[in-house]
Structure 1
Amino acid sequence: MYRPRSSVAVEADKSDTERWLVSYADYMTLLFALFLLLYSMATMEKEQFKKLQDTISKVFIEATDKQETGIQGQSVQPDIHPQSDFELYGSGLEDATGPTLLADNAKLEHIDRTRRGSPLSALQKDINRALRSLVESDLAKVTLDEDWLTIELSSGLLFSSGSANSTSSASAVMTELTAILKQTNNYMRVRGYTDSVPIRTEQFPSNWELSVARAASIVRLLEELGIAPERMAIEGYGQYAPFAENTTAQGRSQNRKVVIALSKYAYEPVVAQIPQPAEAQSAQEQAAEEAAEQEQNKIRVIRLPHGGIRITTRPPEPGEEEPASQ
């Protein structure tokens, strides 16, 4: 016989089937709070984010301290005392003293500023202006980073193929650059690069020699035009520092170049320390020294208190008598 279910049972079943909504609502609330926090962190300023970060860190640090400490702030962990260096190694361990650091950082900054050469940004503008036609035709490139101003020049502009003898166009380009570089004191490096095509001649057994010879040729040319040789150094990279792939003709053309790199630091000439001649002594001082030396080397005949004599260069001691010279 069918018996209708009571209303109490129906309500109980309904509440059981909808209980998941409570957990679902909690999860949705937490997700909403999380996304709201992420959105606020993405749009807030750095100072506000720093304050929030410090606050959160402080909360977690305090919670960690409470877990690690017991009543009245005493640690519940065992007190472990590590062995000292003396206990581990004995008396043979010597104290290692580190380098002495300067306390005044301003002095270091001052030294750095005094070593700086001409501003590289101003030089970049002047060089771009002087080599504008070459830059526009991709035969030259001027770049600037934190430490170096680099002037990249195509080897086809400076040398014939397989040669390290500078051409007339190289002289013209270096003349333009020298007019600017003479007004500076920045340290310079001239770097030579080649492509990967091998070269085996009596003069250049490999691309190493060719890259160095081309850099040296530019250095000699700059020296002839008035650049102090002490400012310059030569670097050769051969085919082992390519700017582009060597698999194409265009890439190999980009890898054949000479780079003039200007440092942000200035060349500081070494001043030779010439010893100063001693001041001339007066005639009176010289005579006094000569008399003292003669007196010291004088042969004396000393009459001893109990008879006898002593022949010596030392002055008489107390109780001794030096006879008067006849």
Structure 2
Amino acid sequence: MAARASLEERLGALQLAEGQLAIAEAQNKSAVDTIDTLRANINKSENALADARTNLAERLGALQLTQRQLEAAQVQNTSDAGTIDGLRAETTASKVEIAQMTGALAALRVRLEKLTALLAEKDKQTAHDKVAIASLGRSLNNALASRVQELQRFRSEFFGRLREVLKGRDDVQIVGDRFVFQSEVLFAQGQAEIGSQGEEQLAKLAITLTDIAQKIPGDINWVLQVDGHTDDVPIRAGRYADNWDLSTERALSVVRYLNQQGLPANRLAAAGYGEYQPLDASDNDNARRKNRRIEMKITQRVAIK
């Protein structure tokens, strides 16, 4: 009985142990399943982590690119901001300048309108003045023509009477509106003092001219122009510097002599031309003789009072 009881006790303990083993096995199987599940989850998590790391790396790269782009944009923005500020300043200055130009343009328009009105007034006055000037011009031309004709009449009388006085002399000629005296008639070679023969001829001329001068109206401003000319032979060392000097002194000698004969000084004028206005440009003695001369002519300056 005791052995059976011990056996049953051991059997009961065995069954209990088997039950516990079964439970332990069941728990172990559950733990293994759980571990497998955890390992699967770990694998999934690791895969997910790897994906996350890859994605993170990509996102980080994109972020860094974006950051660089942002920095570049900020630099550009700073530059653009400076440009914008400069443009704004230029725009402000341009607006001020435009305002000034607008004001100046308005003032210019006002000035232009005044000038236009003044021009219209001046045009009207000019038209009136043109009529007056045309009338005055006609009067002046008529008066001038009358005085010229009158002086021409006295000049013709002077020339006619001198022709009679100097008739038969080959060394005194009329060339156009001038009397031409060969220098040999009046002066010795290379001299400006009038010789006795020259004084005789000039005295006749002075008498005739004085008589005619008394008949010329006082408002005809006439003058006897005396011009001296030489040949092209250079002056040798002596009293006169050159032919210009000699021709001028000869003309002055004639003027002084005529003044001494009673002709008013204000009716006499003298000039010297040296060898620069020859009558004959030939290179021979006959041409040189022609070019050595004193020319006289009556000219006029008509004054309308």
Asked if the contact 1:196–1:246 (Cα under 8 Å) also holds between the matched residues in 2, the reply is no
Number of equivalent positions: 174
Match of 2:162 among 127, 136, 143: 127
Query: 2:269 aligns to what SS in structure 1?
Result: strand
Q: 1:58-112 CA deviation, whole Å, 9 max, x = no partner?
A: xxxxxxxxxxxxxxxxxxxxxxxxxxxx99xx89999698885242454213431
* TM-fit CA distance, 1:239: 0.4
Contact 1:195 1:246 in 2 (8 A): no
Separation (CA, whole Å) in 2 of partners of 1:167 and 1:180: 20
1:245, distance to aligned residue in structure 2 (A): 2.2
SS at match of 1:132: coil
**Which residue of structure 1 lines up, in the alignment, with residue 141 of structure 2?**
109
Question: What is the RMSD of the two structures over their aligned residues, measured on CA atoms?
Answer: 3.1
What is the CA-CA distance between 1:179 and the residue it aligns to?
Answer: 1.4
Residue equivalent to 2:184:
156
Matching residue of 1:141: 173
Q: If the length of structure 2 is used for normalisation, what is the TM-score?
A: 0.51
Mark the structure with the bigger radius of gyration: 2
8 A Cα contact 1:189 1:234, kept in partner: yes
Supply the AA of the counterpart residue of 2:194: S
- Structure number having the greater helix percentage: 2
Give the CA deviation at 1:200.
3.6
Q: Provide the C-alpha distance between the structure 1 equivalents of 2:186 and 2:276, rounded to a whole number of angstroms.
A: 21
Indicate how the Cα distance of structure 1 residues 181 and 111 shifts in structure 2: closer, same or farther if over 3 A, else same.
same
- Equivalent residue for 2:202? 174
Aligned to 2:68: none
- Distance, in Å, in 1 between the alignment partners of 2:278 and 2:159 is 24
Cα distance change of structure 1 residues 193 and 130 upon mapping to structure 2, 3 Å threshold: same
The aligned counterpart of 1:31 is none
Residue in 2 that maps onto 1:28:
none
Shift of 1:180: 1.1
Give matches, 1:33-48, under 5 Å.
none
Secondary structure of the residue that 1:165 maps to in structure 2? Answer: coil
After superposition, the C-alpha distances for 1:150-180 in whole angstroms (9 at most, x for unaligned) are 1100001100000000000111111111111
Q: CA deviation at 1:133?
A: 1.9
Q: 1:123, 1:265 → 2: CA distance?
A: 18
**Secondary structure in 2 matching 1:103:** helix
Amino acid at match of 1:239: E
Residue deviations 1:244-292, cap 9 Å, x none?
02410000000000001112557x7x9xxxxxxxxxxxxxxxxxxxxxx
Which of 253, 278, 282 matches 1:242? Answer: 278
Matched AA of 1:165: E
Tell me, yes or no, if structure 1 residue 224 matches structure 2 residue 260.
yes
Query: Aligned AA for 2:209?
Result: L
Distance 1:252 1:246 in 2: 8
Would the aligned equivalents of 1:117 and 1:265 in 2 still touch at CA under 8 Å?
Answer: no
Aligned-residue sequence identity (percent) comes to: 23
Which is worse superposed, 190-199 or 105-114? 105-114
Q: Which of 166, 176, 193 lines up with 2:229 in the alignment?
A: 193
| Structure-2 separation of matches of 1:188 and 1:248 | 31
Asked if the contact 1:127–1:177 (Cα under 8 Å) also holds between the matched residues in 2, the reply is yes
Q: What residue in structure 2 maps to residue 213 of structure 1? A: 249
Provide the C-alpha distance between the structure 1 equivalents of 2:264 and 2:143, rounded to a whole number of angstroms: 23
Matches within 5 A, 1:273-292: none
* CA offsets 1:275-316 (integer angstroms, 9 cap, x no match): xxxxxxxxxxxxxxxxxxxxxxxxxxxxxxxxxxxxxxxxxx
Deviation at residue 237 of structure 1 after TM alignment: 0.6
What SS class does the counterpart of residue 277 from structure 2 fall into? coil
Partner Cα distance (1:128, 1:197) in 2: 31
Q: Please, which runs of 5 or more residues in structure 1 have no aligned partner?
A: 1-85, 271-326
Q: Return closer, same or farther for 1:208/1:170 CA change in 2, 3 Å cut-off.
A: same
Per the normalisation by structure 1, the TM-score is 0.48
Contact 1:141 1:151 in 2 (8 A): yes
Selected match of 1:252 from 288, 298, 305 = 288
